[in-house]
Structure 1
Amino acid sequence: MNKQDVLIEGKIIHNRTNEYSLNTEFVGRPDAHLIITIVYSEGMDGQTELVLEKDFESIAKLPFEFKIYGNKNEFMPESRNGKYLISAQLLNGSGKETYVGDLVSEYSYEIFNPFETEPQKLSEYIEIEVFGLEDCNDPNSGGYCTSNYRKKKKRASINQESIDLIIQDEFNLPTLNYKIDLEEVKKQETLPNNKIMFVKALHTALKTVLTSNSNRESPRIIISEGMGLRPKENVEDETKVVKQLHEFLLSGKLILLPLVDWENRDQDFGFFPPEEGESAQENWVFYLSLPTLSDHLFWIIVPRDGQSEAYVYGFN
């Protein structure tokens, strides 16, 4: 087709800087597909009219360049007294229902709005940011979220399948080596002062590793300083840090530490207790090793009170 046959083209970009979104790297399944929708809106009542819907198949990764062909005068005549809006959903599976881990544009982008002081012409190229859908039960969820999972998520009781689902599927860490004893989990969940069940604690721990910019030798800080990046100031740098950290996590090791008193450091525990001595009685304590990043030892601390903020730090 000729250039004049292109109705609109652009790029889908994964924004992984929103603390209220799921910011793990998107890896498309064979049936992952992108739905781009254009609607027409007139007035302030929120009523919209579907102009077109285009489905792109086999989306393996982002960013993704797209083109939609058609006649502008037929689909989006500029003579209409409203505005045209474009949005996107990247679904990591078949169908149109959204699930945890899918990506959506949290708002629609204007293509044409004749109510502007100087009416703009129809855009020919547009960049659409999409955000990962979190579980609405996660502590930092906000805005767009869902409690739907493509695989049934066990909530009544913790089991190995539900742990695998969170780590391998939801956080896309299929090769992370993790050791989580189910009997230990049950023991810690029944502590009188525990207000956070293990599923939530695991979610919080992994998200803390991926998002925390703590300067206490956290993995993100080590990566940022080592690569000379400024993720707080530059979106591209943030993307690089998250991608690099994800790669290090794939060859890492995560352990839930047991409910023991490690105040006496002369004992041989068979594991590394937290350097700053945080108590397992008061916290869910995870040990993390990332050998391809550095020889640091890391600990993720998730307070059991359900109010204090989780954190991660390292020691070399």
Structure 2
Amino acid sequence: MAVPFPDIDPYEELGVSAKDSPPTVRKAYFKLCLKYHPDKLGKVTEKSKGEYKTRFERIQFSYAILGNIKRRKRYDDTGSLDDDDFLAEDFNWKDLFHRYNSIEVTEEMIEEDRNKYQDSKEEYEDIKESMTYYQGDFLKLFEVIPHLEFTQQEEERMFDMVKRMLKKKEIERYQNWGNYIENRTKEVKRMLRNVNKESLEADKMLQEIQKKAKQKAKLKEDSANISLQALIEAKHSKNNDPFEALLAKYSGANKGKGKKRKKTKDEYEIDDDEFERIQQEMIGKKKKV
């Protein structure tokens, strides 16, 4: 049966390059499955459903090529997407796509995959391929192997696994590996510092976010008290200001207890001689103090 997407570039479809290792390709494939799986669509138009369905099938086809070492090598060498398995008369792409569509991809599935993958034969083969592909660059494993994060425990697990491969002569002893052994203690400390730094930065960011949220809530709670305190302080300051006192005196602000009336602008206007007299009176009071 002919291939369904004869003009497809599987590397472009999965967002990887020809230099990427098999684990990197697999990781990219899993992410795209989570994004474009039919179960993740929610409420969308029929047109969007059709577009997502086509994209999901293109992802499956691309991984069918790049996820298989034999098919990937043939594609890299010839650019051909044909394969003996695909060309077999009894091979049906529709059945394959339907099978993929019926599999629900969830976060729980990823966690389950982690548990099954670690310490499995598949992980062993991925590490072996990556050590060969990256010519003994041990730390590269923590960038390309699925579910692998740098900790002292995981470093020791990977280190022991690579030593077993070397002992069985399953991989070559590259110079990069020799350099890592020579500087292992220093490299482990450096990597752990980097991991710890990233963790601290993440914690700090979280604390800042929480702090701002608390400050915002407290601001509303204290706004009434802050306003009241400001008014009290302003009133206290005004009562102790000699100029304000004189202004009140000459504007009639403290005259009697009669009926309140609206003050006009003229009540607060004084001529130059009156202002000079008030100023001298203020100076005299300050000298006495």
Q: Provide the TM-score with structure 1 as the length reference.
A: 0.19
Largest Rg, 1 or 2 = 2
